[in-house]
Chains A and B, each alone.
Chain A
Amino acid sequence: MTLDSKIAVRSQKPWASSPKQRVASALVIVVAVISTYLLVAITPLKGKLAYFGLFFLIFILLDFLYHLRLFGFPSGKDAIARGVVALGVTLATMPVVSILITVFNRGRRGLHWGLFTHDMKLNSVNDPISQGGLLHALTGTFTLVAIALIISLPIGILTALYLTEIRGRFAGPIKFLVQAMSGVPSIVAGLFILAAIVYPITKSYSGFMGSLALTILMIPTIARTAEEVLLLIPIELREAGIALGGTQWRTVGMVVLPAARSGLVTAVILGIARVAGETAPIILLTGGGDGVNGNPFSGPMGSLPFYIWKSFSVGTEESVTRAWAGIFVLLVIVMILFISARLLSERRRGN
């Protein structure tokens, strides 16, 4: 053995835990699990809550004692904090997991291809699940969201442009108002359309009224996302546009907006996801028909949230199965929108 190999330089990570420590922390978890089981078996405590609570209690206690013995009191406190943070994260994630599992399990039973080719004109929600479908709800939701998008996209982008390009006297107040608008309860948006348009003017429910209410909810989402995106566009691009002799509107229209294209698409997608499942204003305004209605300006218009709502309210076994199937479809739509928005923005950041 040479001297060299004895003093060979090895990279050291003094902060990394040694194998022994890792085994010890794994042991802490194992002991916590076992003692939880034992305690639940021995004591009258029972149920998921007991398992959950006891496990975290014992785990935190053991971890605390272990670190206290090894590194002293500050490290023990740190261990407690770590355990409590883990508990918080678990509590925050559990609902999502539970929701996804529930919707998948319960929605699966009501799914069949007929859902996408039939409406409920000839069926009641109490009919066997294989009859009828939610074609009318899908087309209705599509129509409602499309009209809402057509109205709110220009307004949202103009608002964002005002905040980023013009930055006029009102920029501060408008930013504040957009924020305030995003907090308007959806039912208030519905009541507003009712008060401003349905009662004084049209006197009838229709899909268009629902779209108008959705517009109010959609504008702030689009405006805020678009503003964030436009702020990321480097100022040099604008200066280059001006230096080439472009007027401001040509610079914005031909340089800034094209550069922000994918971000604006994200804004649109997030706006759609925000309103696609909105229920309260739809219940107030659309009238909720059972057949496919291609005309948003007259006649009741069905939609996914309304279909879910109606089926759920009836409360029989078949109707609730229908409601879960509707939720399944709605959730799939929202998730597709959400994931595509995320992919788009990741790609943008990648560039």
Chain B
Amino acid sequence: MPVQTEPARRELTTEPRFSDKVFRAIVTGGGLSSLLILGLIFAFLAYQGFSVLRSQGFHFVTGSTWQIVQDDAGNIDLSQSKFGIAAMLIGTILCALIAVVIAVPISVLSALFLTFYAPPFVKRMMVAVVDLMAAFPSILFGLWGFFILMPSVEYWAKLIHKYFGFVPIFKLEAPVVTRSPFVAGVVLAVMIIPIITSISREIFSQTPLDRVQAAYALGATRWSMIRAVALPYGRSGVVGGAMLGLGRAMGETVAVYTVLNIVYQINWQILLGAGGNVASMILLKFGEAGPQEIKALMAAGLVLFLLTLVVNSLADFVVKRSGGKGR
């Protein structure tokens, strides 16, 4: 009689197979690449800009002179040279703020239209148009802004100066309105309208339907429904979208470069044709910069990187928290 042999028991385990372990390791590695890249960007810009940052100290972000002093041999004397990007930093924030102030109302109105007013066909078309606009390259906005938008905006600037000249920021010390921060702000506004619009639209479209219908059932007009339900619900989403637009506007290079007259001074008069922007300053000075100046530009890039990172992170945080509020 043959000996009955029990088949070997299969081991039950939740331990992943070897192949899965490899797979998970590879995917995790790929996933961590964004951390790696962001870390490397910070590390290398800090490394290259370190000597400038050390010699300038805190003056790098508070000073507003960019003065290169060479010694007799033609080498750049770091202790004598002054690298301060305050003028450009203020210019960056100013242009971006102008852009956000112009773009937010337009974008919110468009988002409201797309969510609550537009018939389905118009809505689909308009959403495509807005998304297409977000895909336009920035050099296109630069050329269009320079040739088409700038003449009109200069005319608007003159009007604003004529009727609102008493407001401090609309003052003009010299009658030069060409290539002012205001023009740059308008071009940037056009560029960030699609971003703010699509984020606001997404938030508005998540407005709870029961609340919308409750408002209508109580006899609300469309506007009172929007004011009572949609706007309170979407408020923080709109704020987040605006900040995302702000971050995008701060980092914009080419479009600003083409329409802004970069002058190295702190200028609060937004209609005056002299302004600054860290990104376009880097592009402007890069061409003829020596090795030391390049390091200063790297340091400026680091500041810009950190600034946009902070603004974007805050925006992300605000957008994520949005919704759930409102009457």
Which residues of A line the B interface, CB within 8 A? 47-49, 74-75, 77-78, 80-82, 84-89, 91-93, 95-96, 98-99, 102-103, 106, 154-155, 157-159, 161-163, 165-166, 168, 170-171, 173-174, 176-189, 191-192, 194-196, 199, 216, 219-220, 223, 247-250, 252, 270, 273-274, 276-280, 283-284, 305, 308-309, 312, 323-324, 327, 330-331, 334-335, 337-338, 342
B23 engages A84 (CB within 8 Å): no
With A179-B316, A277-B140, A331-B140 known as contacts, the answer to whether A191 contacts B117 (CB < 8 A) is: no
B129 lies within 8 A of chain A by Cβ: yes
Question: Given A92-B197, A102-B148, 9 more contacts at CB 8 Å?
Answer: A74-B221, A81-B223, A88-B112, A98-B148, A187-B251, A187-B279, A187-B301, A312-B258, A327-B140
A183 engages B133 (CB within 8 Å): no
B132 engages A96 (CB within 8 Å): yes
Residue in contact with A308 in the complex, picked from B22, B29, B143, B305, CB distance below 8 Å: B143
A86 engages B222 (CB within 8 Å): no
| Interface of chain A, main secondary structure | helix
Q: Chain A residues with Cβ under 8 A from B140's Cβ?
A: 99, 103, 277, 327, 330-331
B137 lies within 8 A of chain A by Cβ: yes
B221 engages A77 (CB within 8 Å): yes
> How many residues of chain B are within 8 Å of chain A by beta carbon?
91
Q: Chain A residues with Cβ under 8 A from B16's Cβ?
A: 247-248
Closest B residue to A273 by beta carbon equals B135
Instruction: Please name 26 pairs of A and B residues whose Cβ atoms are closer than 8 Å in the assembled complex, sorted by A.
Output: A49-B152, A77-B221, A78-B224, A85-B117, A92-B130, A99-B141, A155-B33, A161-B27, A161-B31, A163-B31, A179-B316, A181-B37, A187-B282, A188-B41, A188-B279, A191-B298, A192-B40, A192-B41, A219-B34, A247-B16, A277-B138, A280-B254, A280-B283, A308-B143, A312-B143, A330-B137
Q: Chain A residues with Cβ under 8 A from B304's Cβ?
A: 185, 187-188
The distance from the CB of B220 to the nearest CB of chain A, in whole angstroms, is: 8
Residue in contact with B137 in the complex, picked from A86, A89, A278, CB distance below 8 Å: A278
Residue in contact with B139 in the complex, picked from A89, A154, A250, A305, CB distance below 8 Å: A305
Tell me, in angstroms, the Cα distance from A339 to B140 when the chains sit together: 18
Q: Chain B residues with Cβ under 8 A from A74's Cβ?
A: 221, 224
Q: Chain A residues with Cβ under 8 A from B45's Cβ?
A: 188, 191-192, 195
With A191-B45, A195-B47, A276-B137 known as contacts, the answer to whether A84 contacts B252 (CB < 8 A) is: no
Q: Chain B residues with Cβ under 8 A from A102's Cβ?
A: 144, 147-148
Residue in contact with B109 in the complex, picked from A84, A219, A278, A279, CB distance below 8 Å: A84
The distance from the CB of A75 to the nearest CB of chain B, in whole angstroms, is: 6
With A223-B34, A280-B283 known as contacts, the answer to whether A188 contacts B254 (CB < 8 A) is: no
Q: Chain B residues with Cβ under 8 A from A247's Cβ?
A: 16-17, 19-20, 23
The distance from the CB of B71 to the nearest CB of chain A, in whole angstroms, is: 23
B221 engages A78 (CB within 8 Å): yes
B113 lies within 8 A of chain A by Cβ: yes
Tell me, in angstroms, the Cα distance from A17 to B107 when the chains sit together: 29
Q: Chain B residues with Cβ under 8 A from A219's Cβ?
A: 33-34, 37
Closest A residue to B286 by beta carbon equals A284
B68 lies within 8 A of chain A by Cβ: no
Which residues of B line the A interface, CB within 8 A? 16-17, 19-20, 22-24, 26-35, 37-38, 40-41, 44-45, 47-48, 105-110, 112-113, 117, 126, 128-133, 135-144, 146-148, 152, 155-156, 159, 190, 193, 197, 221-224, 226, 244, 247-248, 250-254, 258, 279, 282-283, 286, 294, 297-298, 301, 304-305, 308-309, 311-313, 316
B113 engages A89 (CB within 8 Å): yes
With A159-B31, A185-B304, A278-B137 known as contacts, the answer to whether A82 contacts B251 (CB < 8 A) is: no
A85 engages B254 (CB within 8 Å): no
With A92-B193, A174-B31 known as contacts, the answer to whether A166 contacts B24 (CB < 8 A) is: yes
Q: Chain A residues with Cβ under 8 A from B308's Cβ?
A: 183-185, 188
With A277-B138, A327-B139 known as contacts, the answer to whether A187 contacts B298 (CB < 8 A) is: no
B113 engages A85 (CB within 8 Å): yes
With A173-B35, A248-B23, A252-B23 known as contacts, the answer to whether A186 contacts B251 (CB < 8 A) is: yes
Tell me, in angstroms, the Cα distance from A327 to B312 when the chains sit together: 30
A88 engages B109 (CB within 8 Å): yes
Q: Chain A residues with Cβ under 8 A from B132's Cβ?
A: 96, 335, 338
B28 engages A82 (CB within 8 Å): no
Tell me, in angstroms, the Cα distance from A274 to B195 when the chains sit together: 14
B283 engages A159 (CB within 8 Å): no
Closest B residue to A173 by beta carbon equals B35
B193 engages A323 (CB within 8 Å): no
Tell me, in angstroms, the Cα distance from A89 to B133 when the chains sit together: 14
The distance from the CB of B80 to the nearest CB of chain A, in whole angstroms, is: 24
Q: Chain A residues with Cβ under 8 A from B38's Cβ?
A: 177, 180-181, 184
